[in-house]
Amino acid sequence: MTLSTPILWVILPLFISLITGIFYRRRILGMILTCTTGFGLGALAAFFPEDLVISIGPLTLNFVENLSILGRQININYQILPFVAFIYFSTGLWAVGSIRPSVPESFRPTSLVITALLTAALGVEPFLYAALFIEGAILFSVPMLSPLLSKTHPGILRFICLQTLALPFILLAGWLLSGVETLPPDSPLIVQTMIILGLGIGLWLAVFPFHSWVPMVSEKAHPLPVSFVLFIFPTVITLFSLNFLDRYTFLRTSQGLYQSLRSIGTLMIVLGGLWTAYQDDIKRAFGFSALSETGFLLLAIGLADQGGLSLLLMLFPAHAVSFWLWGFTLSLIETRADSRSIEVLHGFAQRYPIISSGLLVAQLSIAGLPLFATFPVKIALFSEAFAVRSGLGVWIFVGSLGLFFFSVRLLINLVTPNTEQAITSWVLTEKANVYLPILLTILAVIIMGLFPNAILTNITTILTAFGQLQ
C-alpha cells in the first residue's frame, strides 16, 4: 500500500481538526484528539524510517514524499521531518494547556489546522506558494485570538491587515526572483527585489515598524492562543525564509543582506527589551518580549557565516517551552488576579507560589538567564555579534537588560506582601493539574539550559534540508 507523507502530516490533521471543530464544545474530547494527533504525528515524524517504509505485521506501508495537487506538488521529505516533529509536538503541548476552561473553544481545532497549513507551506512547490498557505493559517487564527462573544479589538484588525499585506509582497518577490538570477550583482532590480522580499517577511514577522499588532493582540486576547501564534508563526516563517537563502546565490552571498539582518535584529532586541522594561500590563509585556525574541531570530540568520543558522534552530525548542510556560501561567494568573497590572500582583506569589514561579522562570528564560533554556544560544549569539561588531553586542546587551529589568520588577511585585489580604504567609493553593504541568515545564527549561548539546542540537539536523546552507 502506497501513501504519501503530505497525507499523513497535512490532510490527516486537517480531517481531525474538522472533527474537533464539529465537537468544539466538548473540551476533553477536543483536547484528547488534538493532543493525540499532535504528539502522535510528532512522534511518527521523529522516528520515521529513512527508507519511508513502515511494516506493521503483514501490512507494509510505502510512503512517497510528494502529493500532486492541480499540477503542483507538496513535498514533505525526510530531511524536514525533525522540524515537522517539532511543530506537531509543540501543538500537542499547547493542546495540553487548552484544558483550562478559559481557553477559547476554537483554539483546539484551529491550532491543528494552523500547524497542518504551515507544514504544507514548508513543502509546497514552487515554494513561493507557501505564502498562500501561511495566509490561510493567519485567517484561521482569527477565531482563537478574537472569540465570538468578545469585543473586536483594533489589534486583531491590524493583525489581519498587516499579515495579509505581506502576501502580495512575497508573491511579487517570487516573480521578480525568477528573473533576477541571471542579472549582474550591481543591477538595481536586485536591490528592489530584496526590498520587496524584506517587506513581505518583515510584515509577517512583525518587524518594527509593523509590530504594533503584537502588544495590542497580546493585551486583549487569551494568553495561550497568543503564545501559540507568537511562537509558531515566527518559527515557521523564519525557517521558510531560509529557502530564499538556499535557492538564490545572490542572496546567500550578499554581505549587505546579512548586515541588514543583524542591524534589524538588534533593533528589535533593543526596542522589545526597552518596551518590556517599563510595561505595567504583564500581557503587553509578553508581546514586547516576543518582539525581542523575533530580533534574536533575525540576528541568528544575520550571523549565518558565524554558525548562526544552527543557533537559530536551537532557539526554536527553547522558545517553545518558554512561550508555552508564559501562555499557560498568564492564563492562570488572568483568572486568579484582580488585574493584569504588575502593581496589583502584590502578595500573589504567597497565594500561588507555583504559578508565580512558572511566570518568573518563563520571563527569565526569555531574558536569557544562565541555566535556563535560551541562555546557551543567546550567549553564543551575543559573543558572535560582539566579535562581528562590538557596537552590536552592546546594543544586544542593552535590550537583554530591559528584559531582565522587567523580570526583577515582576519578582519584586509578586513577592511583596499585600497588607490588605488576609493571607500573609506562604501557602500552596494550586492543585496538581495546575502545578504539575508548570513544574514539568520548569524542569524542561532547566534541563535545556544545563544540557544544550544533548537536547537542542538534535534539531540542527534540519539544516540538511537546505543543501547550500549547511
Which residues would be at the binding site for other proteins (CB under 8 A)? 69-72, 129, 132-133, 135-136, 139, 142-143, 146, 148-152, 154, 157, 160-161, 164-165, 167-168, 171-172, 175-176, 188-189, 192
Q: Which is nearer to other proteins, 49 or 179 (CB)?
A: 179
Q: Which is nearer to other proteins, 157 or 450 (CB)?
A: 157
Minimum distance from residue 175 beta carbon to other proteins (Å): 5
Q: Which is nearer to other proteins, 168 or 417 (CB)?
A: 168
Minimum distance from residue 214 beta carbon to other proteins (Å): 18
Q: Which is nearer to other proteins, 72 or 341 (CB)?
A: 72
Q: CB within 8 A of 329, min separation 6: which ones? A: 355, 358, 359, 362, 438
Minimum distance from residue 73 beta carbon to other proteins (Å): 10
Q: Could you tell me if 227 and 157 are in contact, meaning their C-beta atoms sit under 8 angstroms apart?
A: no
Q: Which is nearer to other proteins, 78 or 208 (CB)?
A: 208
Q: Which is nearer to other proteins, 216 or 321 (CB)?
A: 216
Q: Which is nearer to other proteins, 88 or 169 (CB)?
A: 169
- For 220-270, the DSSP string reads HS-HHHHHHHHHHHHHHHHHHHHHHHHH-HHHHT-HHHHHHHHHHHHHHHH
Dist. CA 417–CA 423, nearest whole Å: 9
Which residue in this structure is represented by grid cell 488576579?
337
Residue 406 half-sphere exposure toward CB, CA atoms < 13 A: 35
Minimum distance from residue 140 beta carbon to other proteins (Å): 8
Minimum distance from residue 135 beta carbon to other proteins (Å): 5
Q: Which is nearer to other proteins, 192 or 259 (CB)?
A: 192
Minimum distance from residue 148 beta carbon to other proteins (Å): 5
Dist. CA 67–CA 175, nearest whole Å: 24
Residue 338: CB atoms within 10 A of its CB come to 8
The sign one gets for the Cα dihedral 82, 88, 94, 95 is negative
Q: CB within 8 A of 212, min separation 6: which ones? A: 158, 162
Q: Could you tell me if 413 and 342 are in contact, meaning their C-beta atoms sit under 8 angstroms apart?
A: yes
Minimum distance from residue 5 beta carbon to other proteins (Å): 19
The sign one gets for the Cα dihedral 459, 437, 116, 235 is negative
Minimum distance from residue 168 beta carbon to other proteins (Å): 4
The sign one gets for the Cα dihedral 154, 159, 164, 170 is positive
